[in-house]
Amino acid sequence: MKPARIVITGVGLTAPNGNSLAEFRQNLLSGIAGIERMEIRYMGTQLAGVCHYDPLKYQKKKELRVGTRAGSISIYCAREALTDCGVNFEMLPKDRVGIYIGCTEHGNVETENEIYNISKFNYDTKFWSHYHNPRTVANNPAGETSLNLGITGPAYTIGAACAAGNMGLIHAAQMLRLGEVDFAICGGISESIHTFGIFAGFKSQNALAQHEDPLKASRPFDKARNGIVISEGGCLYTLERLEDAQARGAKIYAEIAGYHVNSDASDYVLPNPTRQAECIRAAITRAGLKPSDIHIVNTHATATPLGDIQECEAIRAVFGEGCPETYINNTKGYIGHCMGAAGALELAGNLPSFNDFTVHPSINVDDLDPACALPGLVLNQPRKVARVDTILNNSFGMLGINSALIVKRFTT
Amino acid sequence: MTKDECKQVVLDIIADIAPDEDLSNVKPEVRLRDQLQLDSMDFLDIVMELRKRHSIEVPEADYQHLASLDSCAEYLTPKFIAIAAKG
């Protein structure tokens, strides 16, 4: 039996440069980045991608006080996606809705806050918050979303480092195909900028970007790139089986065409281009395509000196010189690295290409690193192209998890 | 500290932990949970804030005394006075 066709029917997002798909896309086409200076506990001023959505749009003040930033971002994105998809939410059986949210990590922010709090009381643990456990359980972002929406189906997170955004979508597609749920809210989120630990960790790795101009700091593929800009963000989609979406006359952004997930099994932090290439090839094969059928490749490249070159090596191995209609871009120059949200946000930023036949560029590439000079790389200016029927989205993470997700133009 | 001042201390705490609530007409003799949206975790917040802000400990067996503003004042005012006397 052929697996059910799965389609994307709604998008809700918050990024450092936009709080809706329309705003985000416009800024990607206009070269507008969203990186700023931010005070980080113990570390002083650092560069970060900060989201400026209105948290009170969908939550009460008390929910914000009790809950987490990750929960708040999730709720905002989920509500925006539900509105966008046009479903009659009141009529949706809530026990048949699944929430699958990818995150890089969860609990660091809340734990650091509590340790800081008890430091003001001579580290007496009787001042430790009774909210610590519900705030730090790994399912917190999905759980807060289920509470806010009254959804009683499965709601949990998927931990997959920086591949998590893709993983949320992939897992939702699998659950829809298995018949576990009839409607899915899925994608990825990150509250990472609120933990000093991730900044300190990348700094100790010599992988934290530095630049006098925050908007120029994140520069994948540029010869002068010097590391990651850490960002928060979120992007959640509504996914449905095609027949369900058609039955209610839903607009369809794209169809899930194929995906693959694998592991490097080679290093804690260093990427493995051989496994990345295997992952990309397997996704293309599952989609029933060949490399030259892929029209946009959104890279994961985070602007670390080595990581960008290794991903380019993997892409070169798969696509070579024989894919004249394959264009390659990157979104992190605008928004930094949104960690668990990265894959989901970066896919969203490219979805409008199915309609406007424009590939958004990688920005901040003033001096292209020759080791990153891939054919079809779109740099600094948007490019109009003849065909956009497929988008491949790479998302890779620490401990060697790789994910590649392909969406295609929906046709009956 | 007077009992009225004590009630205001409790109200100030509630204003922080239940920021969506209108506290202008809280009836002192009525149970707080019957007139405000407060759950058991919120009462733990009241206990925590009394500890943090005023160094007052409320043992679990005494949580019942936090039911209304009046009962709070009866129970907490002597504690505030005792702490003030310690200097």
Q: Do B44 and A130 touch (CB under 8 A)?
A: yes
Same-domain check for residues A29 and A154 = yes
pLDDT score at B4: 97
What is the model's pLDDT at position A1? 77
pLDDT tens, position by position, A17-75: 999 999 999 999 999 999 999 999 999 999 999 999 999 999 999 999 999 999 999 99
Tell me whether residues B20 and A61 touch, CB distance under 8 A.
yes
For residue A118, with 0-12 CB atoms within 10 Å meaning exposed, 13-18 middle and 19 or more buried, which class applies?
Answer: middle
Check residue A320 and give its pLDDT.
93
- Predicted confidence (pLDDT) per residue in A277-300, tens digit: 999 999 999 999 999 999 999 999
A242 plus A356 within the same structural domain: no
Is A204 contained in some domain?
Answer: yes
Co-location of A46 and A152 in the same domain: yes
Cβ distance B18 to A130 less than 8 Å, yes or no, reads no
Q: What is the mean pLDDT of residues A78-96?
A: 98
DSSP designation for B48: H
- Which of these three, A195, A221, A247, is where a domain ends? A247
Does residue A242 share a domain with residue A264?
no
Distance from the Cα of A122 to chain B's closest Cα (Å) equals: 12
Number of separate domains in chain A? 2
Q: Is residue A289 part of a domain?
A: yes
d(CA A118, CA A397): 33
Look at residue A370 and tell me if it is in a domain: yes
pLDDT tier for residue A323 given thresholds of 50, 70 and 90: very high
Q: Report the pLDDT averaged over residues A126-144.
A: 98
Domain end residue (candidates: A247, A273, A307): A247
Q: Are residues A163 and A279 in the same domain?
A: no
Q: In the prediction, which pLDDT does A2 show?
A: 86
A vs B, Cβ pairs < 8 A, gives 22
pLDDT value, residue B67: 97
Identify which of A105, A140, A120, A106 has the alpha carbon closest to the alpha carbon of residue A41: A120
Same domain, A67 and A206: yes
Select from A381, A345, A374, A375 the least CA-distant residue to A360: A381
Question: For residue A244, how many C-alpha atoms fall within 13 Å in the half-sphere facing its CB?
Answer: 24
Whether residues A133 and A262 fall in one domain: no
**Domain match, A273 and A234 both:** no
Separation of CA A163 from chain center: 8
Same domain, A57 and A108: yes
From A247, A272, A301, give the residue that closes a domain.
A247
**Pairing of the two strands A97-103 and A233-241:** unpaired
Asked if A114 and A98 touch (Cβ cutoff 8 Å), the reply is no
Structure pTM? 0.97
Cross-chain CB nearest to B41 (options A61, A126, A130): A130
Test mutation, A59, A66, A114, A116, chain B, max B CBs within 10 A: A66
Are A62 and B18 inside 8 Å of each other by CB?
yes
pLDDT tens, residue by residue, A157-169: 999 999 999 999 9
- pLDDT for B86 equals 84
Q: Decide if A253 is inside a domain.
A: no
Residues from B in contact with A at Cβ < 8 Å = 17-20, 37, 41, 44-45, 48, 51-52
Quote the pLDDT of residue A407: 98
User: Between chains, do B51 and A131 touch, taking CB under 8 Å as contact?
Assistant: no
- Mean of all residue pLDDT scores within chain A: 98
d(CA A50, CA A13): 13
Residue-wise pLDDT tens for chain B (87 aa)?
999 999 999 999 999 999 999 999 999 999 999 999 999 999 999 999 999 999 999 999 999 999 999 999 999 999 999 999 987
CA pair distance B18, A58, nearest whole angstrom: 17
**Percent share of chain A, pLDDT over 90:** 99
Report pLDDT digits (tens) over A220-244. 999 999 999 999 999 999 999 999 9
With 80 as the cut, is the pLDDT of residue A8 above it?
yes
**Within 10 Å of residue A205's Cβ, how many Cβ atoms?**
12
Q: Are residues A242 and A264 in the same domain?
A: no
- Please provide the distance, in angstroms rounded to a whole number, between the alpha carbons at the two ends of chain B: 13
Domain-located, residue A252: no
Q: Are strands A183-190 and A230-231 parallel, antiparallel or unpaired?
A: unpaired
A1 in a structural domain: no
Please list every residue in chain A whose beta carbon sits closer than 8 Å to the beta carbon of residue B44.
130
- Tens digits of per-residue pLDDT, A170-205? 999 999 999 999 999 999 999 999 999 999 999 999
Positions of A marked catalytic: 162, 300, 337
Range of the domain at A48: 6-247
Beta bridge partners of A384: A358
Options 3.30.420.40, 1.10.1200.10, 1.10.150.120, 3.30.450.20; CATH for B3-86 is 1.10.1200.10
The residue to which tokens 């290794």 are assigned: A310
Residue A412 has a pLDDT of: 87
Separation CA A397–CA A174 (nearest Å): 21
- Are residues A120 and A183 located together in one domain of the fold? yes
Domain presence at residue A345: yes
| Together in a domain, A326 and A354 | yes
Q: Shortest CB distance from B41 goes to which of A61, A127, A131?
A: A131
Two tokens, residue A407: 């969406």
- Cβ contacts (< 8 Å) between A62 and chain B: which residues? 17-20, 37
CATH of the domain at A368: 3.40.47.10
